[in-house]
A and B are shown apart, each in its own frame.
Chain A
Amino acid sequence: MPHGNSIGLGLLLGALARIAMLRSDYRHYPTYPHSYTSHLFLGFIAALAGSVTVAALLEQEWTAVTFFLLVSQQFREMRSMERDALKAMEDDELVARGSDYIEDIARVFEARYYIVILVSAASAFGFEIGSIWLGLLFGLLSFAVGAFLMVRRRLGDIVTVEPAPVIVQERNIYVGDVFIMNLGLVESREIIQEHALGAILVPKDDNARGTIANPGQRQAIVHDLAAVLGARKDLDTPEFTPMAKRDLKTGRVGVYIVPMEKDQGALLEALRRVPILESARGGALNTRAGRKARKGR
């Protein structure tokens, strides 16, 4: 079969790339076996599309090329598939992800398939113009480029996370000096006094201040915290929902959670590892006005 080897190599490396990107921690959904199956299957299709397109190009089979480009378009559907799945579960989450976080996860899933197509096409092309080794090299290089583009910044990169006490002052709850909420039930206040943990996010620059001001980003923060530490909360005790409130004077954010296990170290580490959402990424300092403001200081 002409081009059989190059298609085989592209298929293999593309499928391996998809497997390498199948992370299954609590955040990256799927942690469900059936989703593994569907993602591996679609990864295989993506790898096939990538490698066969190269062979079709070399044979100048334009109909086939067009057809496989059409197939690649189908991976746009991945985004809506993930979005729909996560949105459907949103109502039954104790602490919601929020639509920004869902959109962010869905975008990552879509992009992973484009990387698979890139890897399989690059390795098939390398095989065609050189040898299996060149194919492997091209495949690895394109995977590295893809992985580099997909690197996510984490909250710890842009803010300093400081531990802070949760203070119950009469009917108000504070984290350090940041007001969280007014709470009427004495019983709930006692539980908070005993079990709650707090931290303050201090932005390292003005861009970071914009990022943690974004409500979607703050919802992602509290969702992640609840997923890692476990929230001491049920549907009928909404006052124990973790919250991230902004101090309007300084732009710092106070984070409050009533966890199942009171472990301050785990809280700080979980906070540092929260991903920065693309939609929340602050860029005010990079605008012309922002540069002027920085110079003026």
Chain B
Amino acid sequence: MEVTIQKAVLCAVSDDLGKVAGLPVFLAGDDASRQEKARYLARILQATVHDLGDGVLIVVKH
């Protein structure tokens, strides 16, 4: 039986480490690099990126 993680926030991409806690966070200063990092993470993890605003993107496995 294959076991996969579902319905979980896998990691976050943010411009400030203080905005996210309890998750792996990738730091990216500007919009363009946040988008790039989030895109790579989403494709690698087969997950979806959601934008919480205030410079925080989360990568969620649905």
Contact = CB atoms under 8 A, between A and B. Distances in A.
Contact of A182 (B46, B47, B50, B62): B50
A150 interface: no
B47 A185 contact: no
Interface residues of A, number: 15
Nearest to B2: A91
A235 B49 contact: no
Contacts of B42: 185, 236-237, 239
Given A185-B39, A187-B35, A187-B39, A239 B48 contact: yes
B51 A184 contact: yes
A129 interface: no
Given A185-B35, A185-B39, A187-B39, A235 B46 contact: yes
Interface in B48-62: 48-51, 53, 57-58, 62
Interface centre among B38, B44, B50, B53 (most CB of A within 10 A): B50
A171 B39 contact: no
Contacts of B46: 235-236, 238
A120 to B, nearest CB: 42
B53 A171 contact: yes
A183 B2 contact: no
Interface string A171-184: 10000000001111
Interface size class of B (residues with CB under 8 A): 10 to 19
A94 to B, nearest CB: 12
B57 to A, nearest CB: 5
Interface centre among A91, A185, A235 (most CB of B within 10 A): A185
B58 A184 contact: yes
Contacts of A187: 35, 39
Contacts of B51: 171, 182-184
A236 B48 contact: no
A186 interface: yes
Contact of A184 (B2, B43, B44, B50): B50
Nearest to A172: B51
Given A182-B50, A184-B57, A239-B42, 20 more contacts: A91-B2, A171-B53, A182-B51, A183-B48, A183-B49, A183-B50, A184-B38, A184-B48, A184-B50, A184-B51, A185-B38, A188-B49, A235-B46, A236-B42, A236-B43, A236-B46, A237-B43, A238-B48, A238-B62, A239-B48
Interface of B: 2, 35, 38-39, 42-44, 46-51, 53, 57-58, 62
Per CB-CB distance, the 8 closest pairs between chain A and chain B, nearest first, are A184-B49, A184-B51, A171-B51, A236-B43, A184-B57, A185-B49, A239-B48, A236-B46
Interface of A: 91, 171, 181-188, 235-239
